[in-house]
Structure 1
Amino acid sequence: MTGIDERLSRLVRAVQAQARVPAVSVALHRADRPLWTCVVGGTGNDTELGPGTRFRIGSVTKTFTAVLTLQCRDDGLLDLDDPLGRHLDLPAHGELTVRRLLSHTAGLQREPYGDVWDTLRAPDVDELVADLARAERVLPPGRRYHYSNLGMALLGRLVGHLRGGTWAEVLAERVLTPLGLADTSVTPGPHAATGFLVDAYSDEAHPEPPTDFGAVGPAAQLWGTASDMARWAAFLADPAALDPAGAVLAPATLEEMRWPATVTDETLWSGGFGLGLILVPQGRRIMHVGHDGAMPGFLAGVYGRRGGEGTPGAMGVAVLGSSGTAAEVLDLPHRLLSAAVEHDPADIAPWRPGPPAPPDVRGLLGRWWGEGFEYVFSWHDGALRARGADDPAGKPPAVFAPLPDRPDVYRTVSGREVGELLRLTRDESGAVVRMHWATYRFTRAQETFDRYDFRVGS
């Protein structure tokens, strides 16, 4: 066992022992190393615990439903700002939009009508829809974050309706099979861990009853292995590495899903929600993206890592546990991701010279001033870029793409002022003498807004 393997293994074993989790299964996926796995404990039944053991992943299921929803949007079947009633015949709440449901800002009550957690009986699709008129909208749409399993169940119903099948059928066809997630399904299969409630004051572990979430399945039904879930986390963080053709979802769409739509706590901005994805900032422009899951007897944490020095491509981790109360399971993914990068960072690729900037770009490279601040425009990796002269090293630059039908006009495709235009102005000789970015004037010397040039004093 290597040093990093031993270090990660100790983290897992400490959580299993100290949090008293009957079974823990962990996998770490990264593009530059073999898959790392670790299992500790026992299944609680007559099957052996191993990397192929399935665990209930609970609300991690929501990330799959969110991806299916964005697939429908990309295929032109819906718009994120469509009300549900445009596509489904609903007795109530048809005015709530797809976007609000994805980001848990629709204000819909948390669970379907009735005492689901008392009876452990979830409604079927017909019951779910029929009882919508008895479900409350507990907050005005857009007021704040309010988590809703019912909202995600409705999105699963929407996806199945638009694709002409059940949510489970569409999921298998359009996500699980293309990404090779063969050990993920709506049923536990023959090699699954038993979920437990561990007694608070003794070492007794009480088995939890099995549950089928019926029409609420799109919110919490799935079972999977740690290896599958680590691969899924890596996809959420770096889709181009695992799905280069964009067969499941375009990288730009995953980027859209990862953009924060709301914070989850108004006073402590330590976590946010995108479109179906939990966002956990780690400082220094590092983001962990994924979801936690909780079902009777099970907890799961599935997260990918983006940004930061030493972070490799396609990095994701899954921690699956067979205790419903060991909250340490939910913290462990973040500790493992950080430890793996700290003690086994990605190799540093050598810099190599590249082709020169195109002739029509060379004259605008260098330092410019806008709004009284200095910026540096450069050409790297085949694209025009800009960044503030005083920007920290880890801050992503603005990146521009030329508009083929408009000479000397660029669109900002990422970073500062994304979506805005950059327009070049040339003199009689063809030299770029000024630019306008998002309509703000950029010049080679620092100027006031009424064009006083500090370089020449006039």
Structure 2
Amino acid sequence: MTTPQEDLLPATRRALLHRIAVAQAEGRAPSLVAAVVRGGETVWNGARTSVDGHGPDENVQYRIGSITKTFTAVLVLRLRDEGVLDLGDPLEKHLPGTGAGEVTIAELLAHTGGLAAESPAPWWERTPGSLRPELADVLGEQPFRHPAGRRHHYSNPGYALLGALVEELRGAPWEEVLRREVLEPLGLHRTSGRPQAPHAGGWAVHPWADVMMPEPAQDLGRMASAGQLWSTTGDLARFAVFLARGDDRVLSAASVREMRTPSAPPETAELAAGSGYGLGLQIVHRDGRTLVGHSGSLPGFIAGLMIDAEEDVAAVVLSNCTSGPAALTVAVDLVRIVAQAEPKIPEPWRPISEVDSAVLELVGQWYWGTYAFGLRLSADGEVGLEPLSGVGRGARFRANADGTWTGLDGYYAGELLRAVRRPDDSVSHLDLGSFVFTRQPYEEGAPVPGGVDPEGWRGIK
């Protein structure tokens, strides 16, 4: 008998409440709302407030800033999956005349296109988008800060270009496409480009006095696809489930997994051990865990969404102040609290229902030179090649129809693994991207490049 997945223990719930209470009090936030998802369901909602015209809950809208970029990335991946574009395409192929057309779509998604971090003055987050009616106004006369593809440099104008790309290829405004293709299928009815009641007001809290001032809420115009959206913890909790599992009405599980895969290194050396970027998603490494999601901020608002796909836990944190609580850090902490206090109970082990004898023949120990590896067949039909001594390159492989396998991760991602057979159909060796794996180290008679010394193994006096 197991505890139902939807129930959190009282001690866990109190720890979650304590964390957001500390964040709201120490961050001096007018309000802070949070939600935790486990097993595909929202299992906890929390809120703390000291001032505002409503009681904040999972249905109150807050502005989510750059979490908007993840929604835009989903639209671009949909175009790729439909065959409308390739991520390696230069922008110019689909959206000519921008002045930044040499950058590829993948580079824009991963912030490696070399574009400036911000649009030219005036400060785009606090001024109306009508001041930047054209893409040329977003990019300016000198849009590049680095050579394309050379480094990760976060770029808000880059996501404005992706929004324009979506509009060009769909023939409709970005927000209309987003609602039709993502928000409505996923049931995100409280996510919108403009605030809908009930919604929080954005505040600036004085850094040296406990007083506040309202922040303006601007329509960002051409920059909307980089940070326009308003949403709720309820909607973002559902969006987190989609980012962890996929939904064939929007994007497959394989495509959202691709979004979560590192595509760019961290921007600065001091972050190198802790972060990276995928395709529209930030990647955070904390305490041996890998989490994905995105932070967001606009004047008056801070937001954070974090997912631990392995533990199947996610957290959303929203607050209505320009600076204060570190929303992304709080979201990471909420995930950690649940994952540590109530770790995921693994599915029961079950044997394979049917097995191909030709595959079963390959499992066991193999050697690449003198390095020992084990090949294991799992119930999902994948095979895993792992170093037996803990030193070496391991990977998982997915079966292909022709009897080969394609690497899914690590050094061998995308590489082909095949069993090479002798004329009598017995297995000679494994070929992995030209590397020869044999049953014994430098096995006699095996086609080891460079040959095997005919005197074999020997001691030296």
Bigger mean CA offset, 9-18 vs 443-452? 443-452
- State the alpha-carbon separation in 2 of the partners of residues 184 and 201 from structure 1: 34
Give, as a single letter, the amino acid of the residue that structure 1 aligns with 2:326: E
**Is contact 1:42-1:49 (8 Å) kept?**
no
SS of 1:27's partner is strand
Aligned partner letter, 1:376: G
For structure 2, which runs of at least 5 residues remain unmatched after alignment?
1-8
CA–CA distance in structure 2, aligned partners of residues 61 and 32 of structure 1: 21
1:20 corresponds, among 25, 28, 36, to 28
Residue 96 of structure 1 aligns to a residue whose secondary structure is coil
Partner of 2:254: 252
Q: What CA deviation, in whole Å up to 9, does each residue of 1:61-108 have, x standing for no partner?
A: 000001111111111222222222222242522222212211112222
| SS across alignment from 2:129 | coil
CA–CA separation in structure 2 for the residues paired with 1:391 and 1:292: 39
Contact 2:302-2:322 at 8 Å conserved across structures:
yes
Residue 276 of structure 2 is matched in structure 1 by 272
Distance of 2:113 and 2:376 partners within structure 1? 43
How far is the alpha carbon of 1:143 from its aligned partner?
2.9
Distance in 2 separating the partners of 1:43 and 1:84: 46
CA distance in 2 between counterparts of 1:176 and 1:89 reads 29
Distance 1:150 1:36, change over 3 A: same
What secondary structure, in the 3-state scheme, does the structure 2 residue paired with 1:216 have?
A: helix
Q: Choose 295-304 or 105-114, whichever is displaced more.
A: 105-114
Question: Please, which of 215, 223, 240 is the counterpart of residue 208 of structure 1?
Answer: 215
The whole-number CA distance in structure 2 between the counterparts of 1:80 and 1:181 is 27
Q: CA deviation at 1:288?
A: 1.1
How much is the aligned-residue C-alpha RMSD, in angstroms? 2.6
Q: Is the 8 A contact 2:23 2:325 kept in 1?
A: no
Q: Of 45, 49, 52, which residue of structure 2 is paired with 1:44?
A: 52
Where does residue 363 of structure 1 map in the other structure? 361
Q: CA deviation at 1:123?
A: 3.6
Partner-residue secondary structure (3-state), 1:134: coil
Which residue of 1 is the match for residue 401 of structure 2?
403
TM-fit CA distance, 1:439: 1.1
Q: Aligned partners of 1:48 and 1:174: how far apart in 2?
A: 31
CA distance in 1, matches of 2:98, 2:70: 27
Query: Quick one: which amino acid aligns to residue 184 of structure 1?
Result: T
Q: Post-superposition shift, 1:413?
A: 4.1
* 1:437 matched to 2:435: no
Deviation, 1:118, is 8.2
Tell me: CA distance 1:178–1:127, structure 2 relative to 1, closer, same or farther (3 Å). Answer: same
* Contact 1:445-1:455 at 8 Å conserved across structures: no
Aligned partner letter, 1:264? P
| CA distance, structure 2, for counterparts of residue 82 and residue 145 of structure 1 | 19
Say whether the 8 Å CA contact 1:60–1:292 is kept in structure 2.
Answer: yes
2: CA distance, partners of 1:384 / 1:118: 47
SS in 2 for 1:247: coil
2:161 corresponding residue in structure 1: 154
* Whole-Å separation in 2 of the counterparts to 1:135 and 1:339: 46
Pick from 161, 166, 189: which aligns with 2:196? 189
> What are the superposed Cα offsets for residues 305-361 of structure 1, whole Å, 9 maximum, x if unpaired?
133xxx13xx32110011111143231011111111000112233223333531112
What is the aligned partner in structure 1 of residue 6 from structure 2? none
Q: CA deviation at 1:149?
A: 1.2
Distance 1:8 1:215, change over 3 A: same
Distance in 1 between residues matched to 2:68 and 2:329, nearest whole Å: 19
Aligned equivalents of 1:199 and 1:125: distance in 2? 30
Q: What is the CA-CA distance between 1:418 and the residue it aligns to?
A: 2.2
The reply to whether residue 127 of structure 1 matches residue 110 of structure 2 is no
Cα displacement (A) at 1:42: 5.0
Residue 301 (structure 2) pairs with residue 298 (structure 1): yes
Residue 32 of structure 1 and its aligned partner are, at CA, apart by 6.3
Query: Structure 1: how far apart are the matches of 2:404 and 2:125?
Result: 61
Of 67-76 and 94-103, the range deviating more from structure 2 = 94-103
**Alignment correspondent of 1:282:** 286
Change (3 A) 1:402 1:215: closer
Residue 173 (structure 2) pairs with residue 175 (structure 1): no
SS at match of 1:35: strand
CA contact (8 A) 2:387 2:394 kept: no
Distance in 2 (CA, whole Å) between partners of 1:328 and 1:410 is 43
Counterpart of 2:254 in structure 1: which amino acid?
A: A
Matched-pair contact (CA < 8 Å) for 2:37–2:237: yes
Alpha carbons of structure 1 residues 33 and 147: separation in structure 2 relative to 1, 3 Å: closer
What is the CA–CA distance in structure 1 between the aligned matches of 2:253 and 2:25, rounded to whole Å? 39
Instruction: Report if aligned partners of 1:446, 1:455 keep a CA contact under 8 Å in 2.
Output: no
Aligned position for 1:100: 107
Amino acid aligned to 1:8: L
Q: Distance in 2 between matches of 1:77 and 1:353?
A: 41
Query: Is the CA contact (8 Å cut-off) linking 1:398 and 1:416 kept in structure 2?
Result: no
Secondary structure of the corresponding residue to residue 150 of structure 2: coil
What TM-score does the superposition give when structure 2 sets the normalisation length?
0.88
**Residues 409 and 423 of structure 1 are in contact (CA less than 8 Å); yes or no, is this contact kept in structure 2?**
yes
Q: In the superposition, relative to structure 1, how do residues 318 and 72 fare at CA in structure 2: closer, same or farther (>3 Å)?
A: same
Aligned residue number for residue 145 of structure 1? 152
Identical-pair percentage: 33
**Cα deviation code 1:429-452 (max 9, x no counterpart):** 533232211111111111185335
Q: What SS class does the counterpart of residue 161 from structure 1 fall into?
A: helix
Report what 1:6 is aligned to. 14
Distance (whole Å) between structure 2 residues aligned to residue 113 and residue 434 of structure 1: 59
Call closer, same or farther: CA 1:32–1:174 in 2, change over 3 Å: closer
Distance 1:294 1:382, change over 3 A: closer
Question: Which whole-Å CA distance do the structure 2 matches of 1:248 and 1:453 have between them?
Answer: 59
Q: CA 1:305 to 1:455, structure 2 compared with 1: closer, same or farther past 3 Å?
A: farther
Question: What TM-score comes out, normalization by structure 1 length?
Answer: 0.89
Q: Which residue of 1 aligns with 2:3?
A: none
Greater shift in the superposed pair: 196-205 or 136-145: 136-145
